Amino acid sequence: MQSRYFLLFLISTFSSAAPAPPLSEYATRTISTEGALFATSLLAGYSPSEAKSTESANINITLAPGQDSNSNGDPSLDFLQIPNPQPIRGTLGASDPGPHNSAYDQQNPDALARPSTDEGSVQQSKWPMGLSSNRMTEAGWAREQSVRVLPAAKEMAGVDMRLEPYAYRELHWHSANEWGIVLNGSVRISAIDAQGRTFIDDVSEGDLWYFPSGLPHSIQALENGSEFLLVFDDGNFSEDETFLITEWFSHTPREVLAKNFAVPMAAFDKIPKDQLYIFNGTPPVQSVSANNVTGPSGSIPAAETFSYHFSQQEPMEVPGGSVKIVDSGTFSASKNIAAALVTIKPGAMRELHWHPNSDEWNFFIAGRARITVFDAPNSARTFDYTAGDVGYILVDQGHYIENIGDEDVVLLEMLKAPQFEDVSLGQWMALTPPQVVQVR
């Protein structure tokens, strides 16, 4: 399986990256600013006849390595140790007395002091899950990213969800296809298909599932609880618009429910008035097979299973990191979502490339990275990412992913496609006749 991707996927070393020096080695600069303050006594506006008063201030700022006028090559800037980052890169920019949010500036140095190679207009390609409204219950929480907060992300959306030990995500189904990966802990997932065949499996950190739209399923955390990431193939998807069994019950006359299930109406006296969504549960039986309920149609055959133990797939080691790829070729149920789990070592980068068959939805699991997105004919914009951030790059847009920190970058690259495909700029040039690519 690995050889089919080898020429299409390269992570290379990038020797100029290095851990940030201690704060004592950072350059400092003092800038004097002059500003005029004036107003009428009635605050009615400025009149030339009014006397003016002036006020001067000294701004003590600290510059990061590579930010001064002697820098070149637009290196990545580390503002994490800078208490008051400034929009300065080389001879460009000026001091910012405020107001500003230094915490945002520290995390987004390439937005505050953008590289000189950035130009034009590129869509917003970053959304921190930390800015998503977190829907909380007594047994867990969920926060989402959709086109509502990241307008460019029309093809895919994501949900970060946490279940306490033995908590349930209640019986439900969606109008979009659901791809899930366990970030920590373990869960028991179950489903039935339209033929009445049943499915149940335990999946742990690094494992996947895929539930087609309309397929009813449930998720229960096991003894240590679990956090997992869900990706949907519709940018307009909202977790709040899920089809929930408790909501359906609450909006159906009890007489109809009694007829449907052939039980007395009293059986539905305790139907919740509101959806359960995420709720506390009890420990399941240890044996998955003993927990499975089957009917005349039996169980889902192994070749059509809705889970994939991605954690057991060996990564492909490449210069500067590793990669694991899963798509319909390895996980047959995942017919239109493909993924790469990418690890990039400090000082390395995911090479310049683009995806010809899909937009790319990214989720950063660990580390700090920057991506420059290139769009035709002459636009480029650089974004900075850390754990918990979502990235989104449109189909055919050129980009790279560079590790700018001192720990591994781990991220998911998601495509809305049956196969994971990319085109390497380096490979393309290497396989083109030399006289075509020769610099003249």
Tokens of 268: 């539905």
Distance CA 409, CA 192 (A): 37
Any idea which residue has 């049956």 for tokens?
A: 418
| Amino acid at residue number 154 | K
Q: What is the pLDDT of residue 50?
A: 54
Q: How far is CA 328 from CA 39, 96, 304, 325, in A?
A: 68, 51, 11, 10
Q: What is the pLDDT of residue 2?
A: 44
Using 70 as the pLDDT threshold, list the residues of the chain that sit under it: 1-58
Tokens of 266: 């009293």
Q: Which of 25, 304, 413, 421 is catalytic?
A: 413
Q: Is residue 251 packed enough to be buried (19+ CB in 10 Å), middle (13-18) or exposed (0-12)?
A: exposed
Buried b / exposed e across 123-157, counting CB within 10 Å, b at 16+?
bebbbbbeebeebeeebbebbbbbbebbebbebbb
Q: What is the pLDDT of residue 438?
A: 85
- Name the CA dihedral angle for 243, 248, 250, 255, rounded to a multiple of 10 degrees: 180
Buried b / exposed e across 403-437, counting CB within 10 Å, b at 16+?
bbbeebbbbbbbbbbbebbbebeebeeeeeeeeee
Q: How far is CA 63 from CA 88, 89, 112, 233, 317, in A?
A: 8, 9, 13, 43, 37
Q: What is the pLDDT of residue 292?
A: 76
| 402 included as an active-site residue | no
Asked if residues 169 and 278 have their Cβ atoms less than 8 Å apart, the reply is: yes
Q: What is the pLDDT of residue 1?
A: 45
Q: Which helix (H) or strand (E) holds 255?
A: helix 254-261
pLDDT digits (tens, 9 = 90+) for 344-397: 999 999 999 999 999 999 999 999 999 999 999 999 999 999 999 999 999 999
Q: What is the pLDDT of residue 56?
A: 45
pLDDT digits (tens, 9 = 90+) for 298-344: 999 988 999 999 999 999 999 899 999 999 999 999 999 999 999 99
